[in-house]
Structure 1
Amino acid sequence: MPGWATAPEGCAWHWRAGGGIALWVERCALGTGVWDVAWNDAAGGFVQRRDGAVLGVVVQPVAVSASGPDPLAELGAWLVLHGHLDPAAACAFRPLTLRPMQPGMAAYALVPGRPAMTATPDASPGRDPGAGPDAGTEGGTEAGPDTGRASALNSGLHVALHVGLDTGLHIGADRGSDGIADPGADTGPDAAAETGANSGPETGPDADPDAVPDPPCGAWGMGTHGVRYALRHDAWPDRVVLVDEGQERPMFDPGSLRRLP
C-alpha cells in the first residue's frame, strides 16, 4: 500500500482491478466532495470521479500485439484513430525518467520531435475504448479490455510511429499533494473554482496572451499542465498503459500497476 495520501484525514487506499490490470487507488471524503478513482466500462479505463461524476480518464490500458515489432507504434495508431492525436503531428515517444519503477517497467512521454506520423492503408491490432466516460461501473469489477468493444483499427488505417531515443526527460519523484486531471485540465480535489466545460484556448485578435495552448501532441502528450506518459512492462507485452498523473500527486499509484492473468 502506498505510504502517502492526498489528505491526512478522510482518504483511504483500495486495491482495484479492471481491464486486465490492477493498482492501488484512493477514495477521499473531503469538504469539496467524495473523490475517487474507479474502473469505468464505458471509458475502458480508470477514471477520476467527484461525487460519482466522471471527470476524466487517468489510467487507460491499450491492447497491442504481444509479438508485434513496435507496441508504441500501435499505441500511436490507437491515439490517432480515437481522436487523441493529429496524424500530422510532429511528435515521438521518448523514454521518460520518473521515480524508481518496477523491474522491467519503462515510461515513455509523447513529446514534440521529428515528424512521427505516416498513414498508410493497412491494418493494425487494437481496440475501441467505448462510447465515452459518461457511464460505467464502480471500481473493483474486473472487465476484459475488449469487453463490449469492437476493434477500431479494423477500419484499415495503419499509423507508423517512430520512437525517439532521447533519454533527457526527467520528472522528480517528489510531487505535491493534490488531485488529478483530465488530460490537459486540472480536475483534482484542490483545483481552483469550477470553470465549466474544458475547451481549447481562444484564438484571434482578442485572444488571451496568457491562455494555456493546446498540447502539441494531443491530450495524452506531454504539456505544460500535468504529467502524462505510457507505461510498458516486459512481463505484459500485450498491453501499454496510458497514465495521466495531472499537475500534482495523483490519487492512484502508477508504480503499483499489475497485469492480471
Structure 2
Amino acid sequence: MSAGVFSQWGGPNLPLGGPTVYSGDYMTVFPAAIRSLDPQLEFDPQGRIGASRAVQYSANLHVDISDHIELDTTLFHRKSHANTPTDPGVPNLPDVRSTTTGVEVMLRHDLTARMFGWIAYTWMRSTTTISYAETYETLKIPSDFDQRHNLVMLVGYKLPRHWSIAGRFRLVTGLPYTPFIGAIDSEGFYAYGDLAPLFGAPNSARMPVFHQLDLRVDRTWILPRCVVGAYLDVMNVYNHQNAEGITYSQDYARTRAAVGLPILPVLGVQVTY
C-alpha cells in the first residue's frame, strides 16, 4: 500500500473545451486533455499564483498462481483540488476538484521457455466537479483524462541467435471533448464565417475507440565492451484510421474524423556500454 501528497502550480484549468484548429472553412476540435501536454508554463507575474494539491492512495496485490503465471492487481484513488487563488478582478472563479478511482489487473504468463506474454486491463473513472460560490451551482463532468477502459496484450518469442519478435495490441476508450451542437448567426462578429458555433456540455462527447497492433523484431549483439541492439518497429500494422480530433463542416452540421499516423515502420540501433 502507498499514499502520497503532491502540489504543482495551479492556474485556472477548466475543462470547457479542447484546442481548436481552423483550416479554411473547417474547424477541428481535439480532446481537452491535449491542453495538459503543453510543456510551457505561463502565468501573470503581477497576478496571484496558487498551488494545486492532490492526494493519492494505492494498494497492490501480487499472486504467483503457478511457476509461470503471475497476477498483479492494483487499486488506486486520487483526489485533487485546483486551489485557484482569489482574484479581485475575477471574483466568480469557480472551485475545481477532481476524483479518480480505478483498478488495474495484469496477468503474466511464460507460455514456453521461449514464448512469453502478458495482458493488462485498467478500468478508471475520473470526474471533475466545478462549483460556483455566488450561484451555488455545481457542475459534475468527466475529467479531461477520463478513459474508462484500457486493454493491452503482448506476446513475444525469443528466437535463436539473440533474435526476438513481439506483438502488442491496444484497445482504449476515447478521450472526452466538448462538441458543437449547432450554430447561430454571428452577425459579423465571428472571424471564421457567418455562423458562430454553439458549445454542448463540457466533455460530453468522446473520441472513437482507439485500437492498434504493433510489431517489433530485434537482434542483440553482445560485444566485449558494449551491447548493440538493432530493431524494427512497425506501428499500426493493419493501418487503422484512429481519430485524434473531430472536424466540423462550415455549418457545423456534419463531422468527420481527423485521423492520426498511418502504418509507420521505424528502424533503430541502440548501443549500451
TM-score for both structures, normalised by structure 1: 0.18
Which structure dedicates a bigger proportion of its chain to strand? 2
Determine which structure has more spread, i.e. the larger CA radius of gyration: 2
TM-score for both structures, normalised by structure 2: 0.17
